[in-house]
């Protein structure tokens, strides 16, 4: 009995589409980074969190994906942030339990509400393991950085994907 290797052809992305993905991701992450660097310097606030990097991949590079659509981007991040903050507040000294509980609950809630956005799992986890600066925000974390940053990245995604020929975002 032999081992068969099945190769699935990968869709080829045009150089133009790759450039548009790069432009969108650069502008989107630049916007949240610059606000954090220049407008929020000296405060305990941030507008950028690690999960936004994964969101950038979806909304600028895989804009056709159901997981990249605005309802998923915004809803997934906000619901996951609420879950993460709540679980951390319930179990602040048990990160070993709070971490998986936050991620698993965020996934279930996103699935239940039809807002599945994979970076949301990281948003929930960041609320738990993000350290004192994040923990001190409490539920402010939901609004700032999560909702504000996601809305800013969405606004840029809408503009960039409208300018890019051959892209339709959001999907109807």
Task: For residue 5, tell me if it sits in a domain.
Answer: no
Task: For residue 54, tell me if it sits in a domain.
Answer: yes
Specify the pTM: 0.91
Task: For residue 81, tell me if it sits in a domain.
Answer: yes
Task: For residue 9, tell me if it sits in a domain.
Answer: no
Q: How confident is the model over 41-76, as pLDDT tens digits?
A: 888 778 899 999 999 999 999 999 999 999 999 999
Task: For residue 169, tell me if it sits in a domain.
Answer: no
Task: For residue 30, tell me if it sits in a domain.
Answer: yes
The residue range of the domain holding 108 is 15-38+45-163
Sign of the Cα pseudo-torsion (129, 131, 132, 138, in order): negative
Q: What is the pLDDT of residue 27?
A: 98
The answer to whether the CB of 49 falls within 8 A of the CB of 126 is yes
Please report which helix (H) or strand (E) contains residue 103, including its range. Answer: helix 95-113
Q: How confident is the model over 67-109, as pLDDT tens digits?
A: 999 999 999 999 999 999 999 999 999 999 999 999 999 999 9
Task: For residue 72, tell me if it sits in a domain.
Answer: yes
Q: How many domains does the chain have?
A: 1
Task: For residue 125, tell me if it sits in a domain.
Answer: yes
């Amino acid at each position: 009995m032999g081992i068969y290797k099945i190769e699935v052809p990968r869709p080829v992305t045009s150089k133009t589409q790759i450039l548009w993905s790069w432009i969108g991701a650069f502008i989107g992450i630049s916007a949240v980074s610059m606000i954090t660097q220049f407008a929020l310097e000296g405060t305990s606030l941030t507008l950028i969190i690690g999960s936004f990097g994964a969101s950038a991949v979806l909304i600028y590079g895989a804009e056709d994906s159901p997981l990249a659509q605005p309802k998923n981007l915004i809803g997934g991040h906000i619901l996951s942030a609420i879950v993460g903050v709540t679980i951390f507040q319930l179990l602040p000294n048990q990160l070993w339990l709070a971490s998986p509980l936050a991620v698993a609950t965020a996934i279930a809630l996103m699935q239940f509400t039809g807002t599945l956005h994979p970076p949301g799992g990281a948003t929930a986890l960041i609320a738990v393991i993000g350290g004192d600066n994040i923990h001190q925000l409490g539920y402010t974390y939901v609004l700032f950085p999560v909702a504000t940053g996601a809305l800013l990245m969405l606004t840029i995604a809408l503009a960039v994907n409208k300018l890019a020929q051959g892209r339709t975002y959001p999907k109807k």
